[in-house]
Amino acid sequence: MRDVVGPGVEIRRPQSDEPERLREIMIASKAHWGYDRDWVVAWVARDFSGDALARNETFVADAAGTAVGWAMLVPRGEVGWLEDMWIEPAWIGRGIGTQLFERVAARARELGARRLEWEAEPNATGFYERMGGRHIRDSETNEWGRTLSIMGCDLGER
Ligand SMILES: CC(C)(COP(=O)(O)OP(=O)(O)OC[C@H]1O[C@@H](n2cnc3c(N)ncnc32)[C@H](O)[C@@H]1OP(=O)(O)O)[C@@H](O)C(=O)NCCC(=O)NCCS
């Protein structure tokens, strides 16, 4: 199924030749917050997996045939895990994050989840709060010396 987001943007599944483009988006998107680019490239090299894209529930925001954002849901029974949420910087602030989040939430619910949880990039917590997310607990991940927040929302309320 393809969902129309706004003029010229739709949400679809990834294509088999797309992992490299999605990796580029992840780097540009994380670096958008001003982090050292070498740190970001090393961080993405550790975290990005083309296999995980195919194995999990991945959604791509497509503008005129080009991926401009993506999100990935890892189904985990009652609590779905939002693993990735990346918008190409030029497309930030245009509603694509909302559309990807809603699509992931709907898919998680469809697969039987009652809640959705994720580890939040500190600069993105305001966005997630707008999506109905709340701090659940501190993450055990130490990212560049910071403690990250695990956030979550009930899917029944959406
Ligand atoms: C965080 C991110 C996914 C948001 O996507 P987006 O497409 O820009 O978000 P939207 O345009 O759908 O915004 C939805 C709402 O959240 C608000 N919002 C968006 N980003 C925000 C932020 N960083 N802080 C506070 N509020 C934010 C918007 O103002 C909007 O509010 P409104 O409905 O009152 O107008 C995007 O900024 C991004 O990819 N950032 C870089 C990578 C990143 O941090 N990813 C998250 C990893 S955990």
One digit per residue, pLDDT tens: the chain, 158 residues?
A: 455 566 679 999 999 999 999 999 999 999 999 999 999 999 999 999 999 999 999 999 999 999 999 999 999 999 999 999 999 999 999 999 999 999 999 999 999 999 999 999 999 999 999 999 999 999 988 888 899 999 999 998 55
- Which pLDDT does position 83 carry in this prediction? 97
Residue 145's pLDDT is 86
Q: What values do phi and psi take at 93, rounded to 5? A: 85, 20
Atom of ligand 1 nearest to the CA of 126: 25
Considering the domain delimited by 3-118, tell me its CATH architecture: 3-Layer(aba) Sandwich (3.40)
Nearest alpha carbon to residue 88 among 11, 12, 6, 25: 25
Answer yes or no: are the C-beta atoms of 58 and 71 closer than 8 Å.
yes
Report whether 122 contacts 30 (CB < 8 A): no
Identify the residues whose C-beta falls under 6 Å from ligand 1.
29-30, 32, 85-87, 92-98, 120-121, 123-124, 126-127, 130
Domain ranges of the chain: 3-118
Q: What is the pLDDT of residue 30?
A: 98
Determine the Cα–Cα distance for residues 30 and 57; give it in Å rounded to an integer. Answer: 21
DSSP 82: E
Other C-beta atoms closer than 10 Å to the C-beta of 110 total: 12
Q: What angle do CA 155, 2, 19 make, to 5 degrees?
A: 90
- Nearest ligand 1 atom to the CA of 30 is 42
Which run of H or E residues covers position 141?
Answer: strand 134-143
